[in-house]
Amino acid sequence: MTILRVLSKASNRGAIHRNVNVFSITDKQRVVTTTYKLFLQESSDMKTWYEARDYCMALGGDLLSIHSSEELKSIQIRRGPIRAWIGLSAPDPTTGYVWSDGSPLQFQHWEDGEPNNRNNVESCTEIKTRWTWKWNDVHCETYRDWLCQIRADYNRTSDGWLEWNGNQYYINENTMAMEEARHFCQKRHSDLVTINNEAESVFLWKQVSRSRGYYWIGLYVDLDGTYGWMDGSPVAFQRWDINQPDSPNILKLCCHESRSG
């Protein structure tokens, strides 16, 4: 029996929900709705500051910018010896530090004695997350974890559903067998997720990419090799992993989505 997490989808759950921002940042000069993600990697997969920024921009965002102590507190959800890139750098020593997203430098939280530009090669900024979440200047080609900020293209309802492009999605991080997962969805007037185009696939990948594991979706493969969505909708889009599907002799194979997309 395979046990995975659950991706639910509902076109209309028959209820009206109050929209709640994922991560709201508000001050007198700046009102932004965004979400952030901390990407923790094995050492071989860490990135330079430039690589990390390219990764964030490929998701439609940028490296994280922080503009107040309140914003800093709002990201402090993890304890431990983590060192991650943020969007602050000094590409031109004569003009000083700037945020990569172009926002004004209104707040700084350096460690004592920093930035010190040791050996005149440190012009990018890491955040150290053990206790103080202080900042430190580092050589930009150093390999680190990273923090992305992505402007939210969806709303979150008061009971945890994501509203995007006319549909609602629920991500359940508890692992379940497929039948249990589908029952979980149906009790909530939905079904295991159908993915109908590249944009929807990318949206869902953004939501699950920092999790380690796999999620049930509503696609099955019949004995004759044909595919179908459990809710009866036509299969208009497919995005199989390499060498998949690989079980043609199983009567009914349920499919899952990995965090790698």
CATH number, domain with residue 38: 3.10.100.10
Domain boundary (151, 176, 204) is at 151
Residue numbers of the domain that contains 116: 24-151
- Whether 62 and 103 map to the same domain: the answer is yes
Q: Are residues 247 and 168 in the same domain?
A: yes
Confidence class for position 5, pLDDT limits 50, 70, 90 = low
Mean pLDDT (whole number) for 154-171? 82
Report the chain's mean pLDDT, rounded to a whole number: 78
d(CA 2, CA 110): 47
Distance (Å, whole) CA 3 – CA 175:
6
The domain total for the chain is: 2
Q: Could you report the per-residue pLDDT of 89-132, keeping only the tens digit for each? A: 999 988 899 999 999 999 999 999 999 999 999 999 999 977 68
Beta-bridge partner residues of 153: none
Q: Is the pLDDT reported for residue 248 higher than 60?
A: no
pLDDT digits (tens, 9 = 90+) for 16-55: 222 222 232 333 233 334 677 788 878 888 999 999 999 9
31 and 137 fall within a common domain: yes
Residue 137 pLDDT greater than 80, yes or no: yes
Reported confidence tier of residue 11, pLDDT bands at 50, 70, 90: low
Listed residue (227, 231, 233) closest to 253, CA to CA: 227
Res. 154: pLDDT tops 50: yes
Q: Percent of the chain beyond pLDDT 90?
A: 30
- 146 and 35 inside one domain: yes
Residue 203 has φ and ψ, to the nearest 5°, of -55, -50
Beta-sheet strands, E only, within 194-242? 214-222, 227-229
Residues 13 and 30 reside in one and the same domain: no
In this predicted structure, what is the pLDDT of residue 53? 96
